[in-house]
Amino acid sequence: MRLRAVDGPPAAVDADVLAVPIYREDAEMAADLAELDAASGGAIRRAIDWGEFNPLEHAVSLVDAGDLPVDRLLLLNAAGRGRGAWRARRLAAVATRRLNGRNAPRLALWLRDGEDDGAWTAAAAGAVAGTYRSHGIYGRVRDTDAMKRSVEEVLCVGAPSQEALDRGAEIGAGIAFGRDLANRSANDLNPEEMAREARALEADGCTVEVLEPDEMERLGMGLILGVGQGAAHPPRLVVIKLPGWDTASDGDRLAIVGKGVCFDSGGLSIKPAENMGDMKHDKSGAAAVVAAARTVARLAPDTPLMAVAPMVENMPGGNAQRPGDVVRAMNGMAVEVTNTDAEGRLILADAMTWAEREGATHIVDVATLTGAQAVAFGEHISSYFARPRDWGDRVGAAAERAGEWFWEMPLAVEYRASYDTPHADIVNSGTRDGSLIKSAVFLSEFVTVPWVHVDIAGTAYHSAEKPYGPKGASGAAVAALVQLALDFRDGV
C-alpha cells in the first residue's frame, strides 16, 4: 500500500472514496464538516437525516458523495473515545477494512483538521493493518480475485509530513508480521519454528541467538525447563539483538521480553475443553516482541534494543511438571509450582533474569498472562504495572502516541504474602482474588532494574471479526513497543 500526504481541502481531493470521521462535537456539525457538506450539495446532512449514518462506536456508512469528485463518502463514527492517535489508527483501519474486496483502490482519508505527525503515523499503521487477512497463511484461499482486492493507495488529506506516513506504514507491516506469527497454529509454530522465524531477522542486521535446553540447564533456567518438560517440542530461548545493542553510547539498554507459550493446555492443571483452542494465542507476547524488533531494526537500527522470547509448549505429557514440584529459578529462588497453568510468569521470570545478565538496564515484558485481565478490561485495553512508576509513565506515553490504549494497575507488594509457602521461597499461584495484580507481584521478584509488565490477555486476539480488525490476532503491543524503543533511543 502507498500512503501519500496531500493538501486539502478535502472537497477538492479526487479518489474512489473519501473517508470522513464524524466526531462527538458534530452533533451540531462543526465548521470544517459543514464546509465539506456544502461542497457535496448536502450529501452528509442527507445521510445523517435519512438515518443512514449509524451513531454507534466504529460504525461506518458508505454513502453517495453528491457533487464531490469522489465516487462515495465513507462516514466513520467516532463518538466514543476522543481524538488523537488511538482514534486515528482505528478510523484508518475501519476505513481500509470496509473497502476490502471492493473496487476502490484509491482512498482519501481526512482526519479533519489539526491532527499531528504522531496521529498520522498511527493512522498509516492502521490503514495498512486494516487490509490484513489471515486466511492466506495456510492452504487454499477460496477468495476470488475480486474478493482479494484492497485499498492500494491512501491519500492522507492534511498530513503534515510524508516521513510520518512512511514510518506508520512500516509499523503497519510489523503489526501484520506479529499477527501472522500469533495466528499460526500450535502444530506449526512450535518453539524451534519461532527460532527459525527469528533467524530471518539477520537479514535486517540483527544478531540472533537461540538457547537450547542443555544450555538452559547450564545457566540454571529451571523455570523455563520445568514448564517445557511435558511437551514433545523442547523449549527455546530466542534472542534478537539490534546493531545498536552493543554500541549504546550512554549505556542504557532496553530489553523487551514476550511470553511465548505456543500452546497453553494448562499442563496437568489442565484447562476446560471449551475455548482451549484459543490458547494457541498464548505466544502473542513473543510474537509482539519479535515483530517490534524487526520493525525497529528497519526504522532505527542503532536503537539499543534486545527482544527475548522464552518459547515453550505447556503440555500434560508423561514427563510433565506436577503440582507441588519445586524448581530452581535462574536467580536462585526456589519456586513451588502449585498450579501448572500459571506457566507464563515462570518462563518470563527466567527470561528477565537472563536479560539483566546480558546488560538490560530497562525491561518491558508483554504477556497474555491472566484470564482476569481479559475479564476486567476486555478487548480494547491492555493493563500495565511499573516499578518505578516514572518508567511506567514513559511506557504509557509511548503506547498512547502509538494509538494503543494502556491503563496502569497498582503493583501492590502487600500481596506478596499470598505467595508464601513452607516448602520454597515462593509459590507460582495464589488464590483467584486479585489474580491480575498478584501475577505482576510474582514477576516483580525476578527483576531488579526498571521494569514494566504489560498484560495483553484481553487485547491480543479477537474471538470474532470487528470493524477495526479480523478474528484472531490483533497485533497488540507491537506499535507501542516500537514507539517506546524509538523514544528510548532518543532519550524521551
The answer to whether residue 338 forms part of the interface with ligand BES (CB under 6 A) is no
CA–CA–CA angle 70, 403, 385 (5° rounding): 165
Closer to Mn ion at the Cβ: 264 or 404?
264
H-helix or E-strand spanning residue 48: helix 43-50
Among 9, 41, 317, 371, contact with ligand BES (rule: CB under 6 A): 371
Output the smallest distance, CB 388 to ligand BES, in A: 26
- Radius of gyration, alpha carbons of the chain: 23
Task: Write down the catalytic residue from 112, 345, 387, 489.
Answer: 345
Closer to Mn ion at the Cβ: 341 or 365?
341
**Contact set for ligand BES, span 261-280 (CB under 6 A):** 264
Among 242, 305, 327, 374, contact with ligand BES (rule: CB under 6 A): 374
How many angstroms separate the CA atoms of 266 and 424, rounded?
22
Closer to Zn ion at the Cβ: 127 or 327?
327
The answer to whether residue 368 forms part of the interface with ligand BES (CB under 6 A) is yes
How many angstroms separate the CA atoms of 186 and 184, rounded?
7
List the grid coordinates of 135: 486466511
Select the span of 152-160, 173-181, 231-239, 368-376 touching ligand BES (CB under 6 A).
368-376
**Contact set for ligand BES, span 453-472 (CB under 6 A):** 457
Among 183, 353, 370, 459, contact with ligand BES (rule: CB under 6 A): 370
Per-residue x/- marks for Mn ion, 223-262, CB under 5 A?
----------------------------------------
State the pairing for strand pair 236-241/106-110: unpaired
The answer to whether residue 365 forms part of the interface with Mn ion (CB under 5 A) is no
How many angstroms separate the CA atoms of 206 and 290, rounded?
11
Where are the strands (E) in 25-64, listed by range? 60-64
Q: What is the number of other CB atoms lying within 10 angstroms of the CB of residue 478?
A: 32
Catalytic: 345?
Answer: yes
Closest CA to 462 of 344, 376, 374, 335: 374
The answer to whether residue 84 forms part of the interface with ligand BES (CB under 6 A) is no
Among 264, 350, 400, 455, contact with Mn ion (rule: CB under 5 A): 264
Task: Write down the catalytic residue from 133, 271, 298, 466.
Answer: 271
Q: Burial, 480: exposed, middle or buried (Cβ in 10 Å; 0-12, 13-18, 19+)? A: buried
Q: How far is CA 420 from CA 163, 199, 347, 426, 442, in A?
A: 53, 40, 20, 5, 11
**Interface residue list for ligand BES (CB under 6 A):** 264, 282, 339, 341-344, 368, 370-372, 374, 429, 435, 457
Q: Please give the residue ranges that form the binding site for Mn ion (CB under 5 A).
A: 264, 341, 343
Residues that are catalytic: 271, 345
